[in-house]
Structures are given as structure tokens and as C-alpha cells.
Amino acid sequence: MLNQTPNLDLMFQALADPTRRAMIDRLSHGPASVSELAKPFAMSLPAVVQHLAVLVSSGLVTSQKLGRVRTCQIQPEALSLAEQWINDRRTLWVKRLDRLGDFLAETADDERR
């Protein structure tokens, strides 16, 4: 897991921005050109390209240039890494909360006796 930390840091940094999350959401429906990704945003094309560069450097998105059109595509396996990290934390906390619940139940039983 330690070797994955920089990738996770870049992924969570990329996902921290609402514009980039919206781009990921759009790309989850299929590949899109940079201009298609830019349409819903009130920002310049260079600003959109900067957001895409962050997504590409994080490994969440790949881009390919064919002729004059750059097409972007989501990388689901990269999202799986972030999902696994979150699920590992969730599992840990569920176990801790279960143990706390057991402890509180035992304490309540002891007080009733």
C-alpha cells in the first residue's frame, strides 16, 4: 500500500475539485473530446486543458490525439484504487464501531446486574 500513496494523493487531489469531478462524471458515460468536456463550463479552453492535465497526471483519465482532436477517456482501474482505499478504511471503522457496540452492551448488562 505504501507504493500506492503518491498515486492516491494525486487522485484525491484531482477529485477534490468540483470541475474535475464533473469531468469524471461525464467521462463515465464514454469518451469525449476536450471541446465536449469544456461545453458545460464557463471557463477558457486552456483552463479546461489544465484541469484535464491534473486528471491525466493522477491516472484517472487518459487522452489521445487523433488529428486535431484530443479525446479523453476514464480509467476505471485507477478509480478502483481509490475505492479500495476508502473501503479498507470503512471496514476498519465498522470493526471498531462493532467492538464499541459490544463493549457498551456488555457494560450495560453489567450495570443491570
Judged against a pLDDT cut of 60, whether residue 15 lies above it is answered with: yes
CATH at 73? 1.10.10.10
Answer whether 61's CB lies under 8 Å from 52's CB: yes
Are 17 and 32 in contact by the 8 Å Cβ rule? The answer is no
Confidence bin at 27 (pLDDT 50/70/90): very high
Residue 71 CA: distances (Å) to CA of 25, 28, 64, 68, 86: 15, 14, 5, 10, 29
> Number of folded domains in the chain?
1
**CA torsion sign, 15 to 60 to 9 to 53?**
negative
Which domain does 92 fall in, by range?
A: 2-112
Express each pLDDT in 72-86 by its tens digit: 999 988 888 888 989
pLDDT in tens, 84-94: 989 999 999 99
Name the band, by pLDDT with cuts 50, 70 and 90, for residue 7.
confident
